[in-house]
Amino acid sequence: MTIAAGAVSPAGSVNAYRPPGRNNSFFEDYGIWKEAPIFTGSTKFDPLPDVKNIMITGGAGFIACWLVRHLTLTYPHAYNIVSFDKLDYCSSLNNTRVLNDRRNFTFHQGDITNPSEVLGCLERYNIDTIFHFAAQSHVDLSFGNSYGFTHTNVYGTHVLLESAKKVGIKRFIHISTDEVYGEVKDDDDDLLETSILAPTNPYAASKAAAEMLVHSYQKSFKLPVIIVRSNNVYGPHQYPEKIIPKFACLLNRGRPVVLHGDGSPTRRYLFAGDAADAFDTILHKGQLGQIYNVGSYDEISNLSLCGKLLDEMGISHGTPDEFGRWVKYTHDRPFNDHRYAVDGTKLRQLGWDQKTSFAEGLRITVEWYRRFGEEWWGDISKVLSPFPVVTGMEVVSDHEPVSDHPQGAEGGFSSKRKTRSENGVGGGGQHVVAT
């Protein structure tokens, strides 16, 4: 067990630990975070008397870091927040460095698939509440590295559940995804929490399997759990492998973006500040044993999203030629859900609602990436290439065909998408194409 670089221990001391085998620049503090705005949610509730020490897994990652900051800064005298993260390639200590001088914040480096590290953290900090965010979450990677997703998302959740059972956790809030429901047709109603799970890709399947373990521990061992299924979340601090930050960084460099297929699939987007409010609301108002959808009103196709990003960047795209200069196409996923749509009424009945419009959230997000995206994670050049490959902690470039037109359209590409072996990528390589 270690406290990672720049983290504050319970005694307030700072440990400059650097794990072996990792690039030290990953842990170096170059001060970029000091220039950035501090983002949190906006909710505040009366503190819960039976909650004192909250462990947030994946706390140096994107969505979880918003909740880490929100709870640490909103409840400084009520809750102690322990951010538990193994510091994967998509994490950054910059996401929570602003909290290093807070007495109620601790960063603890650990891996959810390591039982001794998990149990040690729970016991060391007398944890009574867990928010479980830590997961492999990029769908494209799951097609090429499904074993890794099963190991982290299923086995890691099992380790956490078993450890929580041993120490008598009072609340276990499991963060899942709307993708466990599978594809929703255009004319279908939004899905309720009672809808059947029908995942269509290895990532979603691993999250659904993790939910089954959570259910089993609730039924078999009376573990006090809540499950949360959210739409896509976006905002500052998201590693630029996902569509909004990746495309914003590419356009900021004067480079075109690359879409899967014809860009017609739609997604609903929720600003990260509203997501933090949702998790805060569920902590304070949610009922144990329940499932809550976190639903957004803002649904947009990937192709239309490109237009909004171009608008936000001030890039002209009014003619087909102008648009075609900035938006390119490549092969689609093996299977790409056309849309997801969940009904968030149950959560709204607890008092939560979406506050940030997509236009406002996108403006904030693009501005942040224009100012900080190039330095926040170190060199992001390779992940911004159309087809990077992730091998362990390293991101390397790869290449596949890109066209000015969608597949099947006149002038579109016709070559078959290469497999990792055809591209000469060794075992463990994971393709990343933004969606």
Ramachandran angles phi, psi of 256, nearest 5°: -75, 160
Residue 220: CB atoms within 10 Å = 9
Ramachandran angles phi, psi of 280, nearest 5°: -65, -40
Catalytic residue among 85, 128, 178, 337: 178
DSSP letter assigned to residue 403: B
Contact 226, 286 (CB under 8 A): yes
For residue 268, the SS3 value is strand
Catalytic residue among 111, 140, 179, 274: 179
Catalytic status, residue 277: no
Q: How many residues does the chain have?
A: 435
DSSP letter assigned to residue 155: I
Contact 264, 227 (CB under 8 A): no
Contact 403, 411 (CB under 8 A): yes
Tell me which long-range contacts 163-168 makes (C-beta under 8 A, separation of at least 24): 163/115, 163/118, 163/119, 163/122, 164/122, 164/130, 164/217, 164/223, 165/217, 165/221, 165/223, 166/119, 166/122, 167/119, 167/122, 167/123, 167/127
For residue 130, the SS3 value is strand
Q: Which region, left, alpha or beta, applies to residue 30 given φ > 0 means left and ψ of -120 to 50 means alpha?
A: alpha
Residues 6+ apart with CB under 8 A from 21: none
Which residue type is seen at 93?
L
Nearest to 175 by CA among 228, 113, 224: 228
Nearest to 79 by CA among 152, 115, 131, 27: 131
* β-strands 298-301, 266-271 pairing: antiparallel
Catalytic residue among 75, 79, 181, 203: 203
Rg (CA), the chain: 21
Catalytic status, residue 179: yes
Catalytic status, residue 178: yes
Please report which helix (H) or strand (E) contains residue 123, including its range.
Answer: helix 115-124
Task: Give the Cα separation of 215 and 212 in Å (integer).
Answer: 5
- Residues that are catalytic: 178-179, 203
